[in-house]
């Protein structure tokens, strides 16, 4: 019996270690990332880059714990949100005339399906911060409401959709810096 139990315990320990340090499954609880991610999609979140403090490229889809402002409004600190990185440290983001503007230039491909129905005064990410917006900009709790996101809140980057099978594949994050 012991000979059978030890390998099983080793596999369980390895699975828990991988989930804690490398990759973990998550689901999309809202429509804030439409059209790229649908409600109830299941994604894999890669955690190594964040743990090693490696820079994230523009367009990365990040999963993070709610910032302090949302926690004060009642969000569970252990819950997770998902948004797209639109500004890196030193970038200045604003919304003018329904368009996302980064460092004074309109962003040609901003993952948004419709014009943004709010304006945003220029907001700059400092070192150790990112600016994040949902792809469904008009229905998203994101940096336009609570400011820059601290790197300390990051859990990882969403890299692969595994459910539903009809949309199985990598999550697009390619976004040329303009």
Q: How confident is the model at residue 173 (pLDDT cuts 50, 70, 90)?
A: low
Residues known to be catalytic: 32, 83
Mean pLDDT of 95-105: 93
What is the mean predicted confidence (pLDDT) over 132-141? Answer: 93
**In the predicted structure, residue 16 carries a pLDDT above the cut 80:** no
Nearest to 117 by CA among 97, 142, 90: 97
43-91 pLDDT per residue, tens:
999 999 999 999 999 999 999 999 999 999 999 998 999 999 999 999 9
Domain annotation covers residue 9: no
Higher pLDDT, 17 or 116: 116
Residue 178 lies in a domain: no
Asked whether the predicted pLDDT for residue 166 surpasses 60, the reply is: yes
Tell me the residue range of the domain where 113 lies.
Answer: 23-170
Q: Is residue 104 part of a domain?
A: yes
Do the domain assignments include residue 4? Answer: no
Q: What is the pLDDT of residue 56?
A: 94
128 dihedral zone (left: phi>0; alpha: psi -120 to 50; beta): left
Q: Which residue has the higher pLDDT, 130 or 5?
A: 130
In a domain, 175, yes or no: no
**Could you give the residue ranges of the DSSP H alpha helices within the chain?**
2-21, 48-51, 68-72, 143-146
Query: So what's the pLDDT on residue 92?
Result: 97
Query: In which band, very low, low, confident or very high, does the pLDDT at 9 lie, cut at 50, 70 and 90?
Result: confident
Is 30 contained in some domain?
A: yes
CATH assignment at residue 149: 2.10.109.10
Residue 66 lies in a domain: yes
For residue 178, the model assigns a pLDDT of 34
Q: How many domains does the chain have?
A: 1
Mean pLDDT of all residues in 118-131: 95
- Asked whether the whole model's pTM tops 0.85, one would answer yes
In a domain, 177, yes or no: no
């Amino acid at each position: 019996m012991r000979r059978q139990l030890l390998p099983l315990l080793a596999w369980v320990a390895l699975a828990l270690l991988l989930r804690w340090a490398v990759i973990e499954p998550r689901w999309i609880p809202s429509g804030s990332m439409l059209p790229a991610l649908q409600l109830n999609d299941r994604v894999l979140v890669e955690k190594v880059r964040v743990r090693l403090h490696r820079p994230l490229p523009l367009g990365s889809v990040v999963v993070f714990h709610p910032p302090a402002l949302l926690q004060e409004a009642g969000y569970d600190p252990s819950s997770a949100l998902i948004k797209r990185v639109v500004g890196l440290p030193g970038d200045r983001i604003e919304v003018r005339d329904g368009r996302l503007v980064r460092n004074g230039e309109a962003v040609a491909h901003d993952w948004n399906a419709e014009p943004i129905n709010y304006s945003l005064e220029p907001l700059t990410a400092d070192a150790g911060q990112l600016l994040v917006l949902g792809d469904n900009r008009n229905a998203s709790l994101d940096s336009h409401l609570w400011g820059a996101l601290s790197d300390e809140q990051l859990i990882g980057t969403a890299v692969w959709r595994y459910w539903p099978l009809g949309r199985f594949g990598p999550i697009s994050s390619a976004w040329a810096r303009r």
